[in-house]
Amino acid sequence: MIRLGVLASGGGTNLQALLDACAARSVDAEVALVISNVSGAGALARAERAGVPSRLLPSRGVERATYDAQLVEALRAARVDLVCLAGYMRLLSPVFLDAFGPAAGTRGCPRVMNIHPGLLPAFPGLKAQAQCLEYGARFAGCTVHFVDQGVDTGPIVAQAVVPVLPGDDDATLAARILAEEHRLYPRAVGWFAAGRLSVEGRRVRVEGAGAPQRGISNPTD
Ligand code: GRF
């Protein structure tokens, strides 16, 4: 069973999906530590409710490398194998990414994952759903990817697609995407936990995955 560290700045519904999947044993992992940089973040309350260790580590006014060194220390102390960003609204510095780069046994996989509410490489960065609507794209979705130093540029693990419907606004589209996020993120983490992921260059291989169907890139569990 691997140990997850989750970084979250907001409401934490993706954290909740991970907590639920771990509790249901559909993912062979446990959430060892939740850290938020935002006081009062819903994610902290969710961790507490689940009986999982959590920490508020305020980031305001703290220089990035200094802050990231504190994060690394806390995550290492919790013996975290994989860091999951779940609505974590800060970029990570090389201090952090070097500390959680590929390791023995991860088959080239970095040890930091993120979920993004857009079909990368389209619409990276903030407000992906609004960017998508503004652009007039007909499909939207979400992407689980490993994290590198760019903004949402790391190797893609899995994607799920949803339609953009007539009459959608930012909120309705975000809700449709979020439902897929909650399905996709635990599955991708489960693959990592099971040692099924490997990275070569930009391409992520999912061992035993079937052909894409119904808008999901790697349908087989
Ligand atoms: C999600 O849409 C996620 O894709 C993005 O931030 C949002 C976080 O939502 N990175 P929540 O805090 O998990 O509810």
Q: What digits encode the pLDDT tens for the residues 39-64?
A: 999 999 999 999 999 999 999 999 99
Tens digit of each residue's pLDDT (9 = 90 or more) over 122-135: 999 999 999 999 99
**Whether residue 185 is found in the same domain as residue 161:** yes
| 189: helix, strand or coil | helix
In a domain, residue 107? The reply is: no
Report the CATH number that the domain containing residue 159 is assigned in CATH: 3.40.50.170
Q: Tell me which DSSP letter residue 168 carries.
A: -
221 belongs to a structural domain:
yes
- Nearest-CA residue for atom 9 of ligand 1: 87
Same domain? For 38 and 86 the reply is: yes
Q: How many domains does the chain have?
A: 2
What are the structure tokens assigned to 190, written together?
């489960």
Q: Which domain holds residue 11?
A: 1-100
pTM of the model: 0.95
Q: Which of 116, 132, 181, 217 is catalytic?
A: 116
Residue whose structure tokens are 């954290």: 15
Identity (one letter) of the amino acid at 163?
P
Closest CA to 187 of 151, 142, 147, 155: 142
CA quadruple 157, 163, 164, 168: dihedral sign: negative
- Helix axis angle, 13-23 relative to 170-193, nearest 10°? 40
Domain assignment present for residue 106? The answer is no
Ligand 1 neighbours (beta carbon < 6 A)? 8, 10-14, 86-87, 115-117, 178, 181
